[in-house]
Amino acid sequence: MRALWGFLCLLALPVWAEERLPGWAVYPTGKSFDDLVTDTKAAVKDNGLIVVTQAGPTKAAAARGIVIPGNLVIGAFNNDYAVRVLETSVNAMIEAPIRFYVTENEDGTATLSYKTPSFVFAPYADEGGETLKHIAQELDAKFQAVADSAVK
User: pLDDT grade, residue 115 (50/70/90)?
Assistant: very high
In a domain? residue 49: yes
In a domain? residue 5: no
The average pLDDT across 78-93 equals 98
Tell me the whole-structure pTM to 2 decimals.
0.85
Return the CATH number at 101.
Answer: 3.30.310.70
In a domain? residue 96: yes
Is the pLDDT higher at 36 or at 8? 36
In a domain? residue 7: no
Domain of residue 82 covers: 22-151
Q: pLDDT digits over 17-64, tens only?
A: 445 689 999 999 999 999 999 999 999 999 999 999 999 999 999 999
Per-residue model confidence (pLDDT) at position 148 = 98
What's the domain count of the chain? 1
Give the DSSP per-residue string, the chain.
-HHHHHHHHHHHHHHHHHHHSTTEEEEEEEEEHHHHHHHHHHHHHHTT-EEEEEE-SHHHHHHTT-----EEEEEEE-HHHHHHHHHH-TGGGGGPSEEEEEEE-TTSEEEEEEE-HHHHHGGGHHHHHHHHHHHHHHHHHHHHHHHHHHH-
- Mean pLDDT (the chain) is 90
Is the pLDDT higher at 15 or at 100? 100
In a domain? residue 33: yes
Per-residue model confidence (pLDDT) at position 84 = 98
